[in-house]
Structure 1
């Protein structure tokens, strides 16, 4: 794992959370109809073909090597439109999007929809759980997210079967929650959850005090999660430390797994 500073994007390129995805060694940034691609091998930007329809917030995810907002095939560099979902789906406020067993699931906190990529059909269902935070990931058919039981309390990690979303706390991470809070992390700070090499990563930013040089720290925790008898998941923090010190003008927006 390594960190690299990206060249700046054009000022008119939106970097809304779910408009950034990775395919292989490339990162795709979708802004309305425009698509920019960062090659992690050469550290260079290029333009990709634009989407057929511009979207203010192009929520997207990857399945079977293709990007779903419309459907983009990186091999042929072409976009295809999805079937018309109808008025109800077009008007919803999307909170999240994730691929589950070939279905592109998306929706709000309590009502979810899906596009079945195999059947080419749209579905909808009620979602009983609102636990899922803004940052989440899927690892081995299990969803992971982070959140707080109270505004002033320590951060916690949660897990759920991707089908049922019966969210439960990942046990054994109390010391990490205290570390996160003592370092300056709080519910007002951006904390990201991402899977990498079979492990769960927690990444957060902390402003430095005193701070005459206008810098902040990027913290990183690597967690091995294991299932135990009784339907519990336990986390073991393998290491946690500061990995970067950056200007306060930088923001922690996206964490992606990229193959290089």
Structure 2
């Protein structure tokens, strides 16, 4: 945990552990330091030699979890030309800055982190499990891959886990009770692929198992969006899609009104699905009432006709979208972000309060937002 120091009076190779905070035991010091916000960690590492490796310490994050000091951190995958795959960034709030609705101080920004070791993956599915993001399948030079990469959002490191039973691209994925369900993304042209059209990854045992889908009339290859609501995985295809309830091992069809063409540009907050419609307005779908409602109070945001995506960041709606800056040969793309607090009225209306909005990154003009997700760190 702690860095080491050496004295000229000590024999070569002898190292004396340095206390994190000299007046406190390391256990007490760690308990205090774990409560420091993640955005302050770069500064924390500059305090002393003992603190240099602290932001990369698994023990620090274990302590953060124990003392209830974890935060919901936003991660964004962006395709930057000429790369075909995605580069990864995390949202960092600059300390000692006031974020406002009309902020022009760039108090929040996307900073690059280590990208997936397989950078050419296109059409991957994504799933968040606590502090980890799973990048599932995707194609490499138009060949579907069965690989699964995991981003540890605490240490910003990548690792491989067991491959899926079949290669997939543009599959649907959802996490329920410690298991990742992956649906579609493969051609059902033989018996082997048919029984593996859906499969499940048990995070505890780190193994894949097929999910039986008898009697399914819809076995689409490409799923353009997925979500988890009320313990069910919704996988949306061009022709409606499917719903799977693991508890009952039951397959069903989603009602047609659910699909507003939300091709991955959606998230779920308290069992309400949020996306933007063909008019660029943010709407929320309540599966109990089976109705779409417009998110009110966010009229100052642009119309999201394309190039935007959403994530649930600790119960708040984070929206990222693409804007343009400059002209001619100097034309660039701006990535904007807004965070919205959601409230439900007694009449069932959904209201949003924009807590802040900011330009968080400027990238080459041909770039594109691939996805954004929030992990607990």
Give the TM-score normalised by the residue count of structure 1. Answer: 0.83
* 1-structure distance, mates of 2:318, 2:121: 27
Shift of 1:201: 1.4
Shift of 1:108: 3.4
The equivalent of 2:300 in structure 1 is 175
More helix by share: 2
CA contact (8 A) 2:334 2:363 kept: yes
* 1-structure distance, mates of 2:291, 2:173: 24
* 2-structure distance, mates of 1:226, 1:126: 26
Q: 1 or 2 for the larger relative contact order (CA 8 Å, sep ≥6)? A: 2
Does residue 1:7 correspond to 2:114, yes or no?
yes
Does residue 1:52 correspond to 2:149, yes or no?
no
* Pairing partner for 1:95 from 224, 228, 232: 224
* 2-structure distance, mates of 1:257, 1:200: 10
Q: How does 1:18-97 map to 2 (within 5 A)?
A: 19-31=125-137, 32-69=145-182, 70-86=199-215, 88-91=217-220, 93-97=222-226
Shift of 1:109: 6.1
* Pairing partner for 1:247 from 351, 354, 364: 364
CA contact (8 A) 1:112 1:126 kept: no
The equivalent of 1:202 in structure 2 is 319
* 2-structure distance, mates of 1:170, 1:141: 15
* 2-structure distance, mates of 1:58, 1:8: 21
The equivalent of 1:117 in structure 2 is 246
> Aligned pair count?
245
Change (3 A) 1:227 1:8: closer
Shift of 1:86: 4.0
Shift of 1:92: 6.3
Shift of 1:49: 0.6
Shift of 1:110: 6.4
Structure of higher CA gyration radius:
2
Q: How does 1:123-162 map to 2 (within 5 A)?
A: 123-131=252-260, 133-134=262-263, 135-149=265-279, 155-162=280-287
The equivalent of 1:152 in structure 2 is none
> Superposition RMSD on alpha carbons, in Å?
2.4
Change (3 A) 1:91 1:202: closer
Shift of 1:132: 5.0
Shift of 1:196: 1.0
* 2-structure distance, mates of 1:65, 1:213: 47
Give the TM-score normalised by the residue count of structure 2. Answer: 0.59
Runs (5+) with no aligned partner, structure 1? 150-154
